[in-house]
Amino acid sequence: MIVRVATEIAADRLFDYAVPGALADRIRVGQRVRVPFGRRTVDAYVVETAEAPEAAAGRAPDAARQGELFLGPDGGVEAACGGLKPVLEIADDVPFLSPALLALARWMAEYYCAPFELTLRCTLPAAVRDSGMRAKEQLYVEPVSGAVPGLTPRQAELLDGLRRVGGGWLQALTREFACTPQTLKALAEKGGAVLAPRQVRRNPLANRKVLPTRPLPLAGEQADALAAIDALAAGEAPRPLLLFGVTGSGKTEVYLQAIAGLLARGRGAIVLVPEIALTPQTVQRFAARFGDRIAVLHSALSDGERFDEWHRIRTGEATVVVGPRSAVFAPVRDLGLIVVDEEHEPSYKQDEAPRYNARDVAVMRGHLEGCAVVLGTATPAMETWQNVRRGKYAVARLTQRVAGRPMPRVQVVDMRLETAAAGHVRIFSQALLEALRVRLERGEQSILFLNRRGYSNSLVCPSCGEAAACDACSVSFTYHQADTCLRCHICGAWKPVPSACPACGDPAFRYAGFGTQRVEQALHKCFPQARVLRMDADVTARKHSHDELLAKFKGGRADILIGTQMIAKGLDFPNVTLVGVLSADLSLHMPDFRAGERTYQLLAQVSGRAGRAELPGEVYVQTFSPEHPAVRAAAADEGFEPFAAQELREREEGPYPPFAHLVCLTFKGESEERVRFCAEACVADLRRLAPALAVSEACPAPLARAKGLFRYQVLLRAATTRAATRPLREALRQRPAPADVAVAVDVDALSIF
CA distance readout (Å), 101 to 86, 337, 365: 25, 15, 8
pLDDT at site 262: 96
Lowest mean pLDDT of 368-372, 391-395, 614-618, name the range: 614-618
> Residue 75's pLDDT is what?
31
Summarised one tens digit per residue, pLDDT across range 189-204 is 999 999 999 998 998 8
Whether pLDDT at 268 is above 90: yes
Residue 142 DSSP symbol: E
DSSP string, 513-564: S--HHHHHHHHHHH-TT--EEEESTTT--STTHHHHHHHHHHTTS-SEEEES
Q: Where are the beta strands (DSSP E) in 59-180?
A: 70-71, 77-78, 89-90, 137-143, 168-169
Residue count of the chain, please give it. Answer: 753
* Higher pLDDT among residues 79 and 37, named by residue: 37
575 vs 389: CA distance, rounded Å: 37
pLDDT interval class at 81 (50, 70, 90): very low
- Residue range 114-161, pLDDT digits in tens: 999 999 999 999 999 988 888 999 999 999 998 999 999 999 999 999
In this predicted structure, what is the pLDDT of residue 76? 30
**What's the pLDDT at 454?**
64
Average pLDDT over residues 521-533: 94
Mean pLDDT, to the nearest integer, of 225-251?
A: 93
Confidence of residue 57 (pLDDT cuts 50, 70, 90): very low
Across 453-467, 591-605, 656-670, least confident range: 453-467
| pLDDT category of residue 452 using cuts at 50, 70 and 90 | confident
Highest mean pLDDT among 62-66, 419-423, 685-689: 685-689
In angstroms, what CA-CA distances link 454 with 24, 147, 457, 471, 569? Answer: 60, 69, 7, 19, 21
pLDDT at 283 (0 to 100): 86
Relative orientation angle of helices 181-189 and 153-165, to the nearest 10 degrees? 100
Nearest partner of 301 among 330, 269, 332, judged by Cα: 330
Per-residue buried b or exposed e for 410-420, using 16+ beta carbons within 10 Å of the residue's own CB? bebbebeebee
Mean pLDDT of 498-520: 78
The answer on pLDDT for 422 being more than 90 is no
Closest to 197 measured CA to CA, from 175, 162, 170, 174: 170
Mean pLDDT of 321-340: 96
Of 46-55, 572-581, 607-616, the range with the highest mean pLDDT is 572-581
CATH of span 2-96: 3.40.1440.60
| pLDDT score recorded for residue 662 | 95
Query: Averaged over 582-603, what is the pLDDT?
Result: 85
What DSSP state is assigned to residue 609?
A: T
| CATH code of the region 661-747 | 3.30.70.600
CA–CA distance, 351 with 327 (Å, rounded to integer): 16
The whole-number pLDDT of residue 92 equals 86
Superfamily of 409-453+515-650 according to CATH: P-loop containing nucleotide triphosphate hydrolases (3.40.50.300)
Rg of the chain over Cα atoms, rounded to whole angstroms, equals 30
C-alpha–C-alpha distance, residues 271 and 341, integer Å: 7
CA distances from 20 to 24, 66, 88, 650 (A): 6, 16, 8, 62
CATH topology of domain 220-402: Rossmann fold (3.40.50)
Beta strands per DSSP E along 588-645: 618-623
Helix (H, G, I), strand (E, B), or coil: what is residue 693? coil
**Separation of first and last alpha carbons in the chain:** 49
78-92, 283-297, 311-325, 659-673: the lowest-pLDDT one: 78-92
> Residue 341, SS3?
strand
Record the pTM: 0.86
Question: pLDDT value at position 689?
Answer: 97
Residue 7 neighbours by CB under 8 Å, 6+ apart: 15, 35, 37, 42, 43, 44, 117
Strand order in the sheet with 320-323: 294-296, 320-323, 268-272, 335-341, 372-377, 241-245, 394-398
pLDDT(79) > 90:
no
| pLDDT in the model for residue 398 | 95
Of 678, 741, 749, 676, the residue nearest 716 (C-alpha): 749
